[in-house]
Amino acid sequence: MKHMKSYLAAAIQMNSLPDLEKNLAQAEDLIDLSVRQGAELVCLPENFSFLGDEEAKISQAEAIAQGSEKFLKTMAQRYQVTLLGGGFPMPTPNGKVHNTALLIGANGEELSRYEKVHLFDVNLPDGNTYQESHTVLAGLKLPPVYPSKELGNLGLSVCYDVRFPELYRHLAQMGAEVLFVPAAFTAYTGKDHWQVLLQARAIENTCYVIAPAQTGKHNSMRQSHGHAVIIDPWGVILADAGDKPGVAIAPIEPSRLEQVRRQMPSLQHRVFI
């Protein structure tokens, strides 16, 4: 932590559609907005490059994967920022895709990647059914922590992962100081669970949480909750993007992290590992 500096982070909020070009244009505008406000770490939500029609996603997976990865590397270099692509489809040999989050450094190189392990197969009381495993192959590896000299130790996760505290405990044990939770949380579950789960993950691991989000309608069936947030290690919400496309920006302060961990050293008090 001694190496870590104070900096501004941005959690981008998008209304992505089943249209790669439109989504990348929207993402670029919001990256530009974030950088103009001083952000050095910019985070895009899950499904930033394509969201809506599952069949179309699978048939276009190759193009979406290539376009997304190229876009992330180009943007990180152009704006000289560390950039998280919070989740996009990467084709696998069996015809499904991995839901892959990619962290790219300011000179355009890949720093870290994570293939989402927890898949959202849920029947909601509002009549919507989500079967992520129909098209997505679950990752098999625990997410990594990327040790950035300046930005701190960055832990990856994606969306539905937020309901599995053991994944974040693993990240904390690996030294995470900042947790990414890029999401496309449903409007139905989001209103009751989104904020409280993110605050819990921040509080119990005494980490910052950066949670970029999808918002609004993506097609006739799918609607996301919004409220991209940045939360401090005490659980305080520092910024909330509301329910429209935009960006939540807040400072990540090593001194605050040290203060909270000194006041509440719960990570050192664990009995059961």
Q: How many domains does the chain have?
A: 1
Mean pLDDT of the chain: 96
**Rounded to a whole number, what is the distance in angstroms from the first to the last CA of the chain?**
23
**2 lies in some domain:** no
Cα separation, 134 vs 30, whole angstroms? 31
Q: What is the pLDDT of residues 199-250, one digit of tens each?
A: 999 999 999 999 999 999 998 889 999 999 999 999 999 999 999 999 999 9
Composition of the chain by helix, strand, coil, percent to 5: 35, 30, 35
Specify whether the CB–CB gap between 252 and 7 falls below 8 A: yes
By three-state DSSP, how is residue 140 classified?
coil
> Which pLDDT score is estimated for 111?
98
Pairing of strands 110-115, 213-217: unpaired
Cα separation, 211 vs 259, whole angstroms? 22
Task: Please report which confidence band the pLDDT of residue 1 belongs to, taking 50, 70 and 90 as the band edges.
Answer: low
Short-list 18, 1, 27, 7, CA closest to 182:
27
Task: Please report which confidence band the pLDDT of residue 91 belongs to, taking 50, 70 and 90 as the band edges.
Answer: very high
pLDDT at residue 137 tops 70: yes
Cα separation, 104 vs 82, whole angstroms? 6
pTM check: above 0.85: yes
**1 lies in some domain:** no
**Residue 172: domain span:** 7-269
Q: What's the alpha-carbon Rg for the chain, to the nearest Å?
A: 17
Q: What is the pLDDT of residues 236-270, one digit of tens each?
A: 999 999 999 999 999 999 999 999 999 999 999 99
Count of residues in the chain: 273
- Residues belonging to the active site: 46, 116, 159
Cα separation, 218 vs 228, whole angstroms? 16
**34 lies in some domain:** yes
Short-list 77, 10, 46, CA closest to 194:
46
The CATH number for 108's domain is 3.60.110.10
Q: What is the pLDDT of residues 7-52, one digit of tens each?
A: 999 999 999 999 999 999 999 999 999 999 999 999 999 999 999 9
Q: What are phi and psi of 36, to 5 degrees?
A: -65, -25
**135 lies in some domain:** yes
